[in-house]
Amino acid sequence: GENVEQHPSTLSVQEGDSAVIKCTYSDSASNYFPWYKQELGKRPQLIIDIRSNVGEKKDQRIAVTLNKTAKHFSLHITETQPEDSAVYFCAALTRGFQKLVFGTGTRLLVSP
Amino acid sequence: EPEVTQTPSHQVTQMGQEVILRCVPISNHLYFYWYRQILGQKVEFLVSFYNNEISEKSEIFDDQFSVERPDGSNFTLKIRSTKLEDSAMYFCASQGGGHPYEQYFGPGTRLTVT
C-alpha cells in the first residue's frame, strides 16, 4: 500500500539555525503534499503545502521542495524560534482524494 | 473562518461498550474523513466518505466500525464494541469548497477505553 517515510524522527537545533525534514512517498499518483505542525494534545495544523506541478513553494520562514522523479519532498524552516518546537508531519494525498498518508513525524526542539 | 467541530472532546468508556463520535464538517465540503492517532504515534487513516457512501477504508476499519451522515450536517463514527487498543485521539476532517485539496481537521476526540 501507499507509504510515506519521514526523517529524522527528532531534530534539535539552536534558535536561529535552519531545520530540514525530509520525506519520501511510494504512490506515484500522489499529487498533493501538505505539512502539518502538531502541538501536544492539539489537532494537526496545516503550515504549508505543495502540488505536484510545482517544485518549490515558500511562505516567510518556511519552504517546501518537491522532486517528483525521486518521490522526495522536504520542509525547510529558517531562522528557527522556540515556538517552532512541535511535531511536524508530512503527508501525501492519494489518487482521487481518497486519503492522506502521513509520515511518522519529526519532533523539532528549538533551544533558545 | 469556518471550522470542523467534534464532540465530545474526551470520552471514557468501558471495554465492550459502544461509542459514537460526532463531527460537524465545514458546510460546503463534500469529502469527509476519520483518522486516528495513538498517543505518540503518527496519524492513521480510517475511512473516507463521499456522496453518502464509504469511498475507501483502511484495514483498521473493521466490522466494529461504521460511519454515518444522518443529516446534512453531522458525520459520525461508531465503534460497536470498544477494545483497549481503540484508545486514541480520533480526528474528523473535511475537504472541498474553494480549496479542493486541503483537509481541515477538527480538534479531535480523545477516546479512553478502560
Helix (H) or strand (E) holding B11: strand B10-13
A97:B35 CB<8 A = no
Ranges in chain A, pLDDT < 50: none
- Report whether pLDDT(B5) > 80: yes
Mutate to test the interface with A, among B33, B89, B105 (most CBs of A within 10 A): B105
Return the pLDDT at B99: 75
Q: Which of B26, B44, B45, B55 to mutate to test the interface with A (most CBs of A within 10 A)?
A: B45
B28 pLDDT higher than 90: no
User: Which of A32, A46, A104 is opposite residue B42, by nearest beta carbon?
Assistant: A104
Give the mean pLDDT of chain B: 94
A39 contacts in B (CB within 8 Å)?
A: none
Contact A103/A89 with Cβ under 8 angstroms? yes
Pull the grid cell for residue B107. 480538534
The per-residue pLDDT for range B38-50, each reduced to its tens digit, is: 999 999 999 999 9
Angle, vertex CA B39, rays to CA B38 and CA B40, nearest 5: 110
Confidence (pLDDT) at A54: 83
% residues pLDDT > 90 (chain B): 84
Find the residue in A nearest to B10 (Cα): A41
- For chain A positions 5-64, those within 8 Å of chain B (CB to CB) are 32, 34, 36, 42-46, 49, 51
Give the closest residue to B103 by CA, choosing from A72, A42, A99. A99
Q: Is A27 helix (H, G, I), strand (E, B) or coil?
A: coil
- Give the chain A residue whose CA is nearest to the CA of B43: A102
